[in-house]
């Protein structure tokens, strides 16, 4: 549900937004700019409410909000190796971590926080920010492609398992063990995403023509959708609807495709009543005698609905959300706009554009007014992560023998008298720090 926008999109036009991402349940939109970042609520079609804005950190290229809570994670081009975690309602920094190379992406749910570097992935316990696991020596992943299930009861992680093919490694972020490897595509991966329950995983390759859906955790193929055949495209966003009935994909073209996840076996076996129905049945029967590649192409389902953009070549992300009790298609673009479409969940077809919002307009909210009154030096809880020495190995918990891992131990600065921290809307997050030997 998230994506980082390129600084210079095709065509040489400078992007207005450095990054943008929808939160886990598609109720909020976060954007990063040269000046800082902003958070918007997505509860209304007609009005786009700014929940929070900050200019304290410039040149933001990653900003992620945890559901509708006050926890937000920010990474800036000024310090691309440092992750900052904030409680924005209090105006305080919970912690910050530094890594051995640039941070490429961050994913989070109510149990885990995932930090993806080019050749490693770090898994933190989000309740105290303790490092639980470092997945080392992954194939080079220059885009930081990875996915985390928003269902914290399983916290499945998916990331590329090969440099040359579309292999997906499925990892259990709860038990911290590899589950299986899925041979998803012949070409290298461009997009992967889980549905809300973590029971399905969708993927697309760099060709962008075929999208596949697999069951989790066994990795069996459930659906196969064809986005197009005429040209290869770059898939920039792939996301399930919250009810897992639809799968949405956007790319560098002017069309957003929405697929419906339903098995058509029963309807296809019924006696056709039209000429086109007879022809369809003939093709289905003929596919049993054709080569496998041709047969697969004929059995692939086409888009159930589409959304037409008034641009192409710009970085964008899409999501499917219910706003004011109706299903909507939302597209955020690097040009600084949010486009909202109506989606017909019964008949599909062309989605109708009903509202365009500018994400760069200035506005003052009650939240911002309160932040203006906060103390000039808010309490900060810094943390530093360093590479261990290569001259000696350590087996102390929190340390790693590999040079790419974090070094240090997370130490909460106070005891939790009330038990584990709950990540609710008005929740308080404990400050943590790392002490280096």
- Token couple for 403: 């040079």
Residue 86 scores a pLDDT above 60: yes
Q: Is residue 332 part of a domain?
A: yes
Looking at the 3D structure of the chain, how many domains does it have? Answer: 1
**pLDDT score, position 263:** 65
Q: What is the pLDDT of residues 199-242, one digit of tens each?
A: 999 999 999 889 999 999 999 999 999 986 656 789 999 999 99
Residue 311 scores a pLDDT above 60: yes
3-state secondary structure of 66: coil
Mean pLDDT, range 39-62, rounded to an integer:
96
**Structural domain that includes position 352:** 235-262+289-361
Mean pLDDT, range 244-262, rounded to an integer:
95
Q: Is residue 323 part of a domain?
A: yes
**pLDDT score, position 16:** 87
Give the domain CATH number at 248: 2.40.128
Range scoring the smallest mean pLDDT among 32-41, 54-63, 228-237, 269-278: 269-278
**pLDDT score, position 164:** 94
- Token couple for 156: 């499945």
What's the half-sphere exposure (Cβ side, CA atoms, 13 Å) at 188? 10
**pLDDT score, position 230:** 58
Residue 421 scores a pLDDT above 60: no
Q: Residues near 94 by Cβ (< 8 Å), separated by ≥ 6?
A: 71, 85, 86, 87, 129, 381, 429, 430, 431, 432
Q: Is residue 67 part of a domain?
A: no
Enter the DSSP assignment of 408. S
Q: Is residue 300 part of a domain?
A: yes
**pLDDT score, position 301:** 67
**pLDDT score, position 231:** 65
Residue 106 scores a pLDDT above 50: yes
Range scoring the smallest mean pLDDT among 21-35, 161-175, 249-263: 249-263
Q: What is the pTM of this model?
A: 0.77
Q: Is residue 322 part of a domain?
A: yes
Q: Is residue 242 part of a domain?
A: yes
Q: What is the pLDDT of residues 160-186, one digit of tens each?
A: 999 999 999 999 999 999 999 999 999
Q: How far from 18 is each of 3, 30, 273, 422, CA to CA, in Å?
A: 10, 11, 53, 31
Q: Is residue 15 part of a domain?
A: no
Q: Is residue 249 part of a domain?
A: yes
By residue count, the chain amounts to: 437
Q: What is the pLDDT of residues 349-395, one digit of tens each?
A: 999 999 999 999 744 333 333 333 333 333 333 333 333 333 333 22
Q: Which of 426, 423, 386 is nearest to 403 (CA)?
A: 386
Share of the chain above pLDDT 90, in %: 65
């Amino acid at each position: 549900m998230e994506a980082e926008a390129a600084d210079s999109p095709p065509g040489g036009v400078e992007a207005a937004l450095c990054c943008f991402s929808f939160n886990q349940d598609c109720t909020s939109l976060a954007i990063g700019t040269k000046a800082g970042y902003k958070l918007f609520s997505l509860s209304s079609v007609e009005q786009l409410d700014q929940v929070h804005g900050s200019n304290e950190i410039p040149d933001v290229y990653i900003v992620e909000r945890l559901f509708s809570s006050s926890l937000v994670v920010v990474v800036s081009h000024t310090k691309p190796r440092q992750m900052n975690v904030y409680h924005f309602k209090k105006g305080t920094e919970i912690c910050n971590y530094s890594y051995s190379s640039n941070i490429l992406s961050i994913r989070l749910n109510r149990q885990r926080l995932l930090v993806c570097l080019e050749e490693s992935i770090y898994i933190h316990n989000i309740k105290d920010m303790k490092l639980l696991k470092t997945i080392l020596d992954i194939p080079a992943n220059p885009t930081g492609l990875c996915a985390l299930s928003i269902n914290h009861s399983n916290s499945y992680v998916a990331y590329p398992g090969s440099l040359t093919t579309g292999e997906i490694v499925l990892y259990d972020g709860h038990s911290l063990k590899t589950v299986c490897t899925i041979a998803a595509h012949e070409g290298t991966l461009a997009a992967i995403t889980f549905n809300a329950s973590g029971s399905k995983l969708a993927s697309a390759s760099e060709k962008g023509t075929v999208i596949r859906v697999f069951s989790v955790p066994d990795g069996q193929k459930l659906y196969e959708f064809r986005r197009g055949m005429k040209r290869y495209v770059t898939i920039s966003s792939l996301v399930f609807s919250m009810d897992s009935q639809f799968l949405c994909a956007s790319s560098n073209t002017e069309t957003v495709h929405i697929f419906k996840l339903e098995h058509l076996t029963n309807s296809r076996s019924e006696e056709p009543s039209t000429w086109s129905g007879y022809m369809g049945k003939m093709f289905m029967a003929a596919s049993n005698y054709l080569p496998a590649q041709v047969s697969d192409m004929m059995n692939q389902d086409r888009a159930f609905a589409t959304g037409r953009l008034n641009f192409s070549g710009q970085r964008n992300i899409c999501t499917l959300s219910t706003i004011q009790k109706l299903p909507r298609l939302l597209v955020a673009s690097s040009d600084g706009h949010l486009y909202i479409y109506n989606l017909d969940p019964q008949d599909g077809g062309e989605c109708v554009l009903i509202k365009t919002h500018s994400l760069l307009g200035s506005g003052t909210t009650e939240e911002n007014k309160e932040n203006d009154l906060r103390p000039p030096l808010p309490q900060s809880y810094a943390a530093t992560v360093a590479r261990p020495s290569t001259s000696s190995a350590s087996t102390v918990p929190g340390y790693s023998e590999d040079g790419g891992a974090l070094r240090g131990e997370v130490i909460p600065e106070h005891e939790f008298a009330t038990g584990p921290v709950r990540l609710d809307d008005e929740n308080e997050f404990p400050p943590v720090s790392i002490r280096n030997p």
